[in-house]
Amino acid sequence: MIVGNRKPLEEILGMIKPYKRLLLLGCNECVTVCSVGGEREVGVLASELRLWSAKEGQDLEIREHTIERQCDHEYIDQIRSFVDEYEVILSMACGAGVQYVADKYPTRPVLPAINTTFLGVTLEQGVWSERCQGGGTCILDQTGGICPITRCAKSLLNGPCGGSSNGKCEVDKETDCGWQLIVDRLKELGQLDQYEEIMPIKDWSTSRDGGPRKRVREDSRL
């Protein structure tokens, strides 16, 4: 899922300063699962904003609304009937959602309430961890199912750097060395010979370096 962090209230207040009528838009997908931008978080932020505006004597009207996904136009269309009643949309979706809502409602400013951080997994309730950077050329088959691009701070492809110490990364003593994890896993799988194979220089053009990516599946198109 896509994981994010709520922006500090101060930053949000700075963004919404010029506006009096605000549509606070949540998303029922990834940001709901990582407890940052779903219906519940929309409620909490709306409550914070109401308390703040009441304290400051500001007149701020907030409508809370959460849609199934902010990255699909059929759901974004659901707010069309009332979106014009509001001066601004404060989106609690990931960056993709914010941009797609902005794309669909060009006359309304769409502001981000969260900082989108990574593609990750839920380690336990309340703890999320990065696992994928969307590199475009997956090599997990060669690395025991552990991504060196994501799990190694330097995204090294052929073993750890000198900063690996007791299985931890020099960047942060709490962070596992990605390559230590890979070697341990390959050993467990009896595939340590994979580690001997030199991986060629990665073609980053399939990743962000190739510019914004697009996928088309012709048989799915209507």
Partner 1 sequence: MRLDYPTNVKITKVPCTGRVDDLLILKAFESGVDGVYLAGCLEGECHFLKGNLRAKQRVQYVKGLLEEVGLGGDRLEMYNMSAAQGQRFAEVAREMTEKVRALGPSPVKKKVKDYRTASLKVEG
> Backbone dihedral region of 105: left (phi > 0), alpha (psi from -120 to 50 degrees) or beta?
beta
Given the complex with partner 1, which of 53 and 180 has the nearer CB atom? 53
- Selected from 54, 139, 140, 189, the binder of partner 1 by CB under 8 A is 54
Site string for partner 1, 1-40 (x = CB under 8 A): -------xxx-----------------------------x
For strands 88-91 and 110-112, give the pairing. Answer: parallel
Q: Does residue 62 touch partner 1 according to CB under 8 A?
A: yes
Nearer to partner 1, 126 or 211 (CB): 126
The reply to whether 217 sits near partner 1 by the rule CB under 8 A is no
CB of 189 to partner 1, least distance (A): 37
Specify the 3-state DSSP secondary structure of 112.
strand
Q: List, in order, residues 6 or more apart from 133 with CB less than 8 Å away.
A: 118, 119, 147, 149, 150, 155, 207
**List of residues contacting partner 1 (CB under 8 A):** 8-10, 40, 43-44, 47-48, 50-52, 54-57, 59, 61-64
